[in-house]
């Protein structure tokens, strides 16, 4: 049972088909009960994890998936094209942004179980809604 708990807590819930993004003691207890038929409480799960040197700590978010050099190069090339259009004929370019769209540069932080001394990294999610529209793509002259 303890081996299954330790194996499970080190994997993402999505690996097991769950839609939630982090393990809580309650979710781990439910999963272990489903897998083994042995009913554990969330406090028992917390106690076992603490004995195994796990703690419920803030996750460290990073944006490594947003820093793909190929995608960045493609974006920079597209941006250069947009800027060239704007320099030649500024009326052909629209730049817009919805101020009340829920834009946030802050990453949503959550706690998760992790081995003491090692902080898990999670992909940061930033919400943004904006756009650039060269008019000649939609209204050819």
Q: In the predicted model, what is the mean pLDDT of residues 55-75?
A: 76
Q: Where are the domains of the chain?
A: 1-52, 57-141
pTM of the model: 0.52
Split at pLDDT 50, 70, 90, the class of 102 is low
More confident residue, 52 or 21: 52
Split at pLDDT 50, 70, 90, the class of 35 is very high
For the range 22-30, what are the long-range contacts, defined as Cβ-Cβ under 8 Å and sequence gap of 24 or more? 22/59, 22/110, 22/111, 22/112, 23/112, 23/113, 25/49, 25/56, 28/113
């Amino acid at each position: 049972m303890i081996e299954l708990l330790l194996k499970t807590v080190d994997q993402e819930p999505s690996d097991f088909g769950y839609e939630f993004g982090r393990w809580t003691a309650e979710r781990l207890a439910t999963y272990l009960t489903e897998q083994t038929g042995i009913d554990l409480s969330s406090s028992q799960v917390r106690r076992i994890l603490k004995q195994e040197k796990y703690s419920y700590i803030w996750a460290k978010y990073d944006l490594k998936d947003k820093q793909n050099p190929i995608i960045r190069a493609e974006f920079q090339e597209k941006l250069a094209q947009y800027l060239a259009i704007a320099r030649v004929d500024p009326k052909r370019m629209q730049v817009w942004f919805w101020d009340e769209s829920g834009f946030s540069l802050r990453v949503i932080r959550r706690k998760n179980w992790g081995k003491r001394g090692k902080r898990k990294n999670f992909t940061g999610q930033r919400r943004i809604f904006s756009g650039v529209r060269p008019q000649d793509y939609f209204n050819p002259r």
